[in-house]
Amino acid sequence: MKKLKVCPGVCGLEALVTVESEDGMEATVQVESQCPAVQKMIAALEQPVDAYEACFVKPGEGPVYEAAENLQHGACPVPSAVLKCIEAECNLALPRDVSMTFV
């Protein structure tokens, strides 16, 4: 199981992404968040998620971003965090932190 905490910025509606996979091919995604749009996104995401179908597509495509049509802000980092967590749990990428910082 992999978990990823998301601090999205000015909205302050943090999210905790949890992904579990038994076979490295399909993953179950849960997101705890007070954001109603993120809750709708996760409810719309068909489970389990095919890790390869989700992660090996062009940016903005695949089942995670299809479910993200429920979001209100195009810059919301939650869909990207979901993909990073799927990658790490399914051994498609190493679990390394990412960050964005205004300078």
- Read off the pLDDT of each residue in 46-69 and give the average, rounded to a whole number: 97
pTM (predicted TM-score): 0.96
Identify the domain containing residue 42 by its residue range: 2-89
Q: Is 78 inside any structural domain? A: yes
For residue 47, pLDDT over 90 is answered with yes
Q: Is 96 inside any structural domain? A: no
Q: Is 59 inside any structural domain? A: yes
With CA atoms as reference, report the closest residue to 15 among 3, 27, 24: 3
What is the rounded average pLDDT for all residues in the chain? 96
Query: Secondary structure of the chain in the HEC alphabet?
Result: CEEEEECCCCCCCCEEEEEECCCCCEEEEEEEECCHHHHHHHHHCCCCEEHHHHHCCCCCCCHHHHHHHHCCCCCCCHHHHHHHHHHHHCCCCCCCCCCCCCC
- Read off the pLDDT of each residue in 37-62 and give the average, rounded to a whole number: 97
Which pLDDT score, from 0 to 100, does residue 81 have?
A: 97
Which pLDDT score, from 0 to 100, does residue 70 have?
A: 87
Q: What's the structural domain count of the chain? A: 1
Q: Is 98 inside any structural domain? A: no
Which pLDDT score, from 0 to 100, does residue 15 have?
A: 97
